[in-house]
Amino acid sequence: MPAWLNALAALKYDEQGRIVGDSYADVASITECQAQQVETWSTGEGHFMSHSEGYTRRRLLTLAAGASAVFTFGPVGAQSAPPTGTGGKTMQTRVIPSSNESLPIVGLGTYRGFDMAPSDPAYKNLAVVLNALFEKGGKVIDSSPMYGRAEQTTGELLSIHEPRSPAFLATKVWTRGREEGIAQMEQSFSLLQTDRIDLMQIHNLLDWQIHLPTLRHWKEAGRIRYIGITHYTASAYEEVEAVLKAEPLDFLQINYALDDRGVEKRILPLCRDRGVAVICNRPFGGGGLIDRLQGKPLPGWAAQVGVKSWPQLALKFLLSHSAVTCVIPGTGNPRYMAENAGAGFGPMLTDAQRQQLIALVS
Ligand SMILES: NC(=O)c1ccc[n+]([C@@H]2O[C@H](COP(=O)([O-])OP(=O)(O)OC[C@H]3O[C@@H](n4cnc5c(N)ncnc54)[C@H](OP(=O)(O)O)[C@@H]3O)[C@@H](O)[C@H]2O)c1
């Protein structure tokens, strides 16, 4: 039996059919598998059959275990188990103004958390992070060539999700020069193991005049679905504003947090006027905001808006702004991902509640 099939067979599941404990380490070894051709695979019912055709790794994994089982439905034979975790409800969505497509409002940032090799014992957690996102109805995953191994890790873990995961893949171009940009974006397709990237963004506006024509061309050709720009600091807002005014764009990704609200003044109203979807990066200020808030009592009305923790409240503060489309808290921690996704449910905050939170961090 090939090693990857052994690894699949060794996976352990909880009673709801999700992979548990250390067996996630085996997912890492499965994703390392380079098999292009096998003679044996599991039918999924305990039998093994011979075949000599070439199969892609993804197809093999599907045949071997129903790769949907790997993330969503549990072990072979348990495909009838109901999906779990949302209590029958799903995450709220907002419309992307340029297309009217609905997007779930809480996504995932891969900076730091997904910069990890399969040999790292914590790699196994990342599959669970994705599972937590999808289970709650989320789908936006944001990456960049700047984030070390994050694109590759994301591609590996999504490749064993069959049927194709619901991921809305956002990544970036982060280099100078037309040819260099093309080469880097081609590599992103390859690392993410996809032939279509949902959102391609120009990272920190680096060489944006050069990359934009390529992005427009690729959008027309159907290789990417949306075009965006990103930044993370107030010193760039002037340039961000100028580009928003000069160029038709689908998305802006920008820093916005309860204690970092500079975009409220001009950038968010401009996006609303121009019909540009807004993704909030650094919603926890890189983590510092949560450190400051933990230990303080939650406002008495938190339960009324379906919030159980400061991270959820900090995200809901952002989502309660009408110009915001989606937040992408970064994490490699499954518990954090599930908690963050919870901000996508229940009522949004009133203006008075938002003001109360602002006063708390001022
Ligand atoms: N210029 C750009 O385009 C740009 C710049 C910055 C960020 N981004 C994007 O935006 C995403 C988010 O920004 P970020 O990752 O820099 O910062 P962030 O989301 O503000 O904060 C991430 C930090 O918060 C922690 N965290 C996450 N969920 C938590 C929870 N429920 N409870 C307690 N702590 C929690 C994480 O811890 P763990 O690491 O332990 O999980 C991590 O240390 C990035 O991942 C990236 O995709 C883009």
Atom of ligand 1 minimally distant from the CA of 110? 45
- Please tell me the distance from the alpha carbon of residue 181 to that of residue 169, in angstroms, as a whole number: 18
Tokens 């994050």 -> residue:
150
% helix, strand, coil for the chain, step of 5:
45, 15, 40
Asked if 313 and 357 touch (Cβ cutoff 8 Å), the reply is: yes
Question: What confidence score (pLDDT) does residue 89 get?
Answer: 75
Q: Phi first, then psi: what are they for 318, rounded to 5°?
A: -70, -45
Short-list 141, 77, 164, 148, CA closest to 112: 148
Residue 267 amino acid letter:
I
- Please tell me the distance from the alpha carbon of residue 270 to that of residue 276, in angstroms, as a whole number: 8
Q: Per CATH, which fold does 93-361 belong to?
A: TIM Barrel (3.20.20)
- Please tell me the distance from the alpha carbon of residue 198 to that of residue 303, in angstroms, as a whole number: 35
Q: Ligand 1: list residues with CB < 6 Å.
A: 109-113, 142, 203-204, 230-232, 253, 281-287, 290, 311, 328-333, 336, 339-340
Asked if 143 and 351 touch (Cβ cutoff 8 Å), the reply is: no
Top mutation candidate among 331, 335, 337 for ligand 1, by most atoms within 8 Å of CB? 331
Annotated domain spans of the chain:
3-73, 93-361
Strand partners, 50: 40
The SS3 of residue 340 is: helix
Question: What confidence score (pLDDT) does residue 330 get?
Answer: 98
Asked if 267 and 252 touch (Cβ cutoff 8 Å), the reply is: yes
Residue nearest atom 15 of ligand 1, based on CA coordinates:
330
Question: What confidence score (pLDDT) does residue 162 get?
Answer: 60
Residue nearest atom 37 of ligand 1, based on CA coordinates:
331
Asked if 126 and 152 touch (Cβ cutoff 8 Å), the reply is: no
- Please tell me the distance from the alpha carbon of residue 353 to that of residue 362, in angstroms, as a whole number: 14
Question: What confidence score (pLDDT) does residue 7 get?
Answer: 53
Cα distances (angstroms) measured from residue 256 to each of 263, 308, 319 = 7, 21, 10
* Residue 220 CA to ligand 1 centre (angstroms): 32
Cα distances (angstroms) measured from residue 107 to each of 3, 52, 129, 357 = 34, 41, 11, 23
Q: What does each of the 362 residues of the chain score in pLDDT, given as a tens digit?
A: 334 434 544 554 444 444 444 444 444 444 443 222 222 222 232 222 223 233 344 433 433 333 333 443 222 222 222 223 334 478 999 999 999 999 999 999 999 999 999 999 999 899 999 999 999 999 999 999 999 999 999 999 999 876 668 999 999 999 999 999 999 999 999 999 999 999 999 999 999 999 999 999 999 999 999 999 999 999 999 999 999 999 999 999 999 999 999 999 999 999 999 999 999 999 999 999 999 999 999 999 999 999 999 999 999 999 999 999 999 999 999 999 999 999 999 999 999 999 999 999 99
Instruction: Tell me how long the chain is.
Output: 362
